[in-house]
Amino acid sequence: MADEPDNIVLALLRKIDQRTERMADDLQDVKVRVTAMEEGLAGVNRRLDRLEIRVDRIERRLELTDVSH
């Protein structure tokens, strides 16, 4: 009987450890996915910047822009 509480505590600690490991794995997966999203968003922003430059150039050539800019 004296060993039973220790076994229950050890069993609970093992479950907590397993859950903690799964959470750590899940968190690592989330970090990888967020990094991929950030990289994708950076690529989209670069493309938008290039498009903005091109539109500005077209507007200047067609004299569609306000001279004050």
For the segment 24-36, what is each residue's pLDDT rounded down to a tens digit? 999 999 999 999 9
What's the confidence (pLDDT) of residue 61? 95
Helix (H) or strand (E) holding 57: helix 3-61
- The SS3 of residue 12 is helix
pTM: 0.66
What's the confidence (pLDDT) of residue 65? 80
Tell me which residues of the chain have a pLDDT lower than 50: 1
Contact 59, 65 (CB under 8 A): yes
Q: What are the boundaries of each domain within the chain?
A: 29-59
State the amino acid at position 62 in one-letter form.
L
C-alpha of 54 from chain center: 30
**Neighbouring residues of 59: CB distance < 8 A, sequence distance ≥ 6:** 65
